[in-house]
Amino acid sequence: NAGVTQTPKFQVLKTGQSMTLQCAQDMNHEYMSWYRQDPGMGLRLIHYSVGAGITDQGEVPNGYNVSRSTTEDFPLRLLSAAPSQTSVYFCASSYSAAGGQPQHFGDGTRLSIL
C-alpha cells in the first residue's frame, strides 16, 4: 500500500546546483501536484498536472519545472537552486481534480539550499 512516494526525504544543495525531486503514485491517479510549505505558513501550489502530458503552473512556479510523461510519476526540477527555495516539498495526487476527490499527500522532501 505505497500511496504517494517522495524521494529523497532530505537534501542539502549549494546555491546554483540543480536537482530533481521525485514523486510516484501507484493508485492510477490522474491529478498530481507539488506544494511547498515554509515554516509557520500554509501550503503553496507550485505546479500541477491533470493527466499524462499535461502540466500547468500554480501560485509559485518560478524556478521550478515539471513534466508528466507517465500517469505514475511527476518529478519536480529545481533549475538553479536558491536559498529562497529552502522549504519542505509535498507531492499530492487524487483520482481527478473534480469535487469530492480527496488528495493523498506524500511524506515530503526537506530541502536546504546553502
C-alpha cell at 32: 498530481
* Among 87, 94, 111, 113, interactor with other proteins by CB under 8 A: 94
Judged by CB under 8 A, which stretch of 14-22, 62-70, 73-81, 92-100 contacts other proteins?
A: 92-100
* Among 27, 44, 71, 73, interactor with other proteins by CB under 8 A: 44
53 vs 74: CA distance, rounded Å: 10
Q: List the alpha helices (DSSP H) in the chain.
A: none
Report if residue 42 touches other proteins, rule: CB under 8 A: yes
- Determine whether 43 is exposed, middle or buried from the number of CB atoms within 10 Å of its CB (0-12, 13-18, 19+): middle
Report if residue 31 touches other proteins, rule: CB under 8 A: yes
* Among 13, 85, 108, 111, interactor with other proteins by CB under 8 A: 108
Report if residue 57 touches other proteins, rule: CB under 8 A: yes
Judged by CB under 8 A, which stretch of 10-18, 19-27, 65-73, 101-109 contacts other proteins?
A: 101-109
- Determine whether 53 is exposed, middle or buried from the number of CB atoms within 10 Å of its CB (0-12, 13-18, 19+): exposed
